[in-house]
Amino acid sequence: MDFFKPPYFLSVFEIGILRREDQKEGKRMSLTGKRILALVSDDFEDLELWYPVLRVREEGATVDLVGEEAGHVYHGKYGVPATSDYSFDEIKPEDYDGILVPGGWSPDKLRRYEKVLDFIKYFDREKKPIGQICHAGWVLISAGILDGVNVTSTPGIKDDMTNAGAIWHNEAVVTDRHIISSRRPPDLPEYLPAYIKAFSK
């Protein structure tokens, strides 16, 4: 099964909706009451945004998509849309319990916003869960929070990560305290349980 083709994404999206319905029938949701900020800009990796968003919503979390503009429709690498709930200027990071940074090419755009870097620095300072996957490490590099941190990422930015002082591992998911990192879409089934678990620490 190809994780990178849109038909697979659609099946994941549909499964997410069905699981959400299952949760309404009385299953315990571990993130009830939690509020998570998910960054968004054009050219995000479709699965790396939507799979985490759907998964934490299944666990009861409220997830806000936050981009440069509020109410703007951003498009992933394969054309899947994501409409932002708020702009960077409209939110306060202290109102959130965790943050998700998708991969794709969007991290190279997100890292250019001072507000985004301030968000990352806040979550790092407060030791709240930071989820990063694939190229999302670029954002954490620009925020200057990776020195001495164990991480993974797409191998394509391994040198960027190590040059920023990180200790890079070629593993599906790496957790170093409140920073949870993963490599690419096939690792999502390992990444999300680790990210969700970080809220219970």
User: DSSP of 66-131, one letter per residue?
Assistant: EESSTT-EEE-TTS-EEE-SEEGGG--GGG-SEEEE--BTHHHHHTT-HHHHHHHHHHHHTT--EE
| Residue 23 within a domain | no
Domain with 194 in it: 32-198
Distance CA 134, CA 157 (A): 8
> Measured between alpha carbons, how far is 132 from 118 in angstroms, rounded to an integer?
16
| Total structural domains within the chain | 1
Question: Has residue 129 been placed in a domain?
Answer: yes
Catalytic residue among 72, 75, 135, 178: 135
Predicted pLDDT of residue 163: 98
Whether 16 is in a domain gets the answer: no
The CB density around residue 187, as the number of other CB atoms within 10 Å, is 20
Residue 39 domain-assigned? yes
State the Cα–Cα distance between residues 37 and 125, nearest whole angstrom.
16
* Residue 180 DSSP SS3: strand
Domain annotation covers residue 143:
yes
Paired tokens of 173? 């998911």
Q: Look over the chain and give the mean of its residue pLDDT values, rounded to a whole number.
A: 90
Helix (H) or strand (E) holding 167: strand 167-168
What per-residue confidence (pLDDT) applies to 4? 42
- Asked, for residue 9, whether it belongs to a domain, the answer is no
Residue 38 has pLDDT above 70, yes or no: yes
Q: Phi-psi category of 25—alpha, beta or left, where left has phi over 0 and alpha has psi -120 to 50?
A: alpha
Residue 11: inside a domain: no
Residue 114 falls inside a structural domain: yes
Among 15-19, 23-27, 32-36, the range scoring the smallest mean pLDDT is 15-19
Q: What is the pTM of this model?
A: 0.88
Q: Give the pLDDT confidence score for residue 189 in this predicted structure.
A: 97
CATH number of the domain bearing residue 71: 3.40.50.880
Residues 178, 198: Cα–Cα separation, whole Å: 6
**72 catalytic per annotation:** no
